[in-house]
Chains A and B, each alone.
Chain A
Amino acid sequence: GQSLEQPSEVTAVEGAIVQINCTYQTSGFYGLSWYQQHDGGAPTFLSYNGLDGLEETGRFSSFLSRSDSYGYLLLQELQMKDSASYFCAVHTGTASKLTFGTGTRLQVTL
C-alpha cells in the first residue's frame, strides 16, 4: 500500500516563508502533487513534480527527491488567504490514481 506523512499543523506570520514536508512510501511511484483546500471548499491543484528538482509557480514552489521519497511545498510571501489545508498526493499505478496525505493545516497570522 501507500503511506504519506506530512505535519498536521503549521503556523506562520503574514509575509513569511513556510515549507510543508511530505515523505512517502509507495510502489509504482509516478509523481507528487500538491493540493490546497480551504474550509468548506474543494481541493484545488497547486503544483506537480514528476522528476527530481524544483518547480516554481508564482509564490508557490514544490520540490521532489525520488531517491529520498521526499518532497516539499514552499509558500513565500504568505498572505492571510493562504490559510488552508495543504495535501501532498502520490500518483501511482495507472498514474491517474492519486493517494492523498492526511493534510497540513496552515494558519497564517498577523
Chain B
Amino acid sequence: DTAVSQTPKYLVTQMGNDKSIKCEQNLGHDTMYWYKQDSKKFLKIMFSYNNKELIINETVPNRFSPKSPDKAHLNLHINSLELGDSAVYFCASSQELSRVTYSNQPQHFGDGTRLSIL
C-alpha cells in the first residue's frame, strides 16, 4: 500500500551512461514532482507535472528529461551521466493547491533513489 514508490532505490553507474528512474503514486494526486538532494542535503525542485502537463521546469541540464505517461506516473531519464549528477532523487506528489482558500496540499515523497556515478 505504498503511496509514492520509486525504483530503483540505488543506482550505481559509470560516467557517460544513460539511466532512468521510475515513479508511481496511488494517492489519486494530479501533480507530481522530481527533486534533487545533494550531499549537503539541499533539496531543489527540478520538474513538476500536473495531469501529464509540464508546469515547472527549473534550470536543469537538457540531459534530464521527465516523462509522464499518465497522472499516476512520472519518470526521469538522464543522458550522459556526469559526476555532479550523484545525489538522491526524490519523486513526490500532491493535489493541486487552491489559491483562493490558501489551503495546503502536502507533498508526499517517495523513499528516494540514491544515484552514484563512478
Contacts and interface: CB of A to CB of B under 8 A. Distances in A.
Decide whether A and B assemble into one complex. Answer: yes
Interface of A: 30-31, 33, 37, 41-45, 48, 50-51, 85, 87, 91, 94-100, 102-103
Nearest to A94: B55
Nearest to A49: B104
Interface hub of B94, B105, B107 (most chain A Cβ within 10 A)? B107
Query: How would you classify the secondary structure of chain B's contact residues: helix, strand, loop or mixed?
Result: loop
Contacts of A97: 45, 48, 56
A75 to B, nearest CB: 18
Interface of B: 31, 33, 40-45, 48, 50, 55-56, 90, 94, 96-97, 99, 101-112
Nearest to A102: B42
B103 A96 contact: no
Contacts of B102: 30-31, 50-51
Given A96-B31, A96-B50, A96-B96, A45 B106 contact: yes
A100 B42 contact: yes
Contacts of B99: 30, 95
Contacts of A98: 45, 107
Nearest to B91: A42
Nearest 9 Cβ contacts at the A-B interface: A50-B102, A45-B106, A48-B104, A95-B97, A42-B109, A100-B43, A43-B109, A103-B41, A42-B111
Contacts of B106: 33, 45, 48
A91 B103 CA distance: 11
A42 B110 contact: yes
Given A31-B102, A96-B55, A85 B108 contact: no
Nearest to B41: A103
Nearest to A105: B41
